[in-house]
Amino acid sequence: ALSEKGYSKTADEPVTIFNYENGFSDRPLPDGFSIICLEDENDTQKIHNVLWKGFNHGRNPDDDLDCRLQMQSAPNFRRDLTTIIKAPNDEYACFAGIWIDGVNDFAYLDPLATDPEYRGLGLATIAVTESMKRTAAHGASYCFGGAGEFYFKIGFEAVCRCEFWAK
């Protein structure tokens, strides 16, 4: 019907969830790294650095911190649920933002990023798992994730597909 009206599909991707009934993995944190939440420490510059680098924008982040502050003012944002993994040098190595919908008992990850310098250590898996455990303690029974292969590797399952159309 959309094609007949001049639209064409531009992309599609799976919608993934992690069902908390399946249990959580227990992966050890590498030596020298630590887990914190934003209630423990909230360094906007370090958040900006890990997200900038983690989303492959380059090694030298710009100086626009307003977007990081704005994220923390959004509805449903909770500092106690957001997980950060600190590197031995005190920089943020991984950031897992997680949000909870208290009406429908689900959580959703956004954003999730690991500094390329620390990839391959399992930090994102540890951060996502810690964040999901925190939302489970607040009544969530599942979590929406992303479409990348990473999510399938740690136990997320596709429940449907999302299509994008343009005219």
pLDDT in tens, 125-149: 999 999 999 999 999 999 999 989 9
Q: Which amino acid, 22?
A: N
**pLDDT above 90 (res 67):** no
Q: pTM for this one?
A: 0.92
Q: How far is the C-alpha of 75 from the C-alpha of 63, rounded, in Å?
A: 25
pLDDT band for position 83 (cuts 50, 70, 90): very high
3-state secondary structure of 37: strand
Q: Are 14 and 151 in contact (CB under 8 A)?
A: no
**pLDDT above 90 (res 27):** yes
The CB-side HSE value for 42 (13 A sphere, CA atoms) comes to 13
pLDDT band for position 63 (cuts 50, 70, 90): confident
Which range, of 46-50, 73-77, 93-97, averages the lowest pLDDT?
73-77
Q: Which amino acid, 53?
A: K
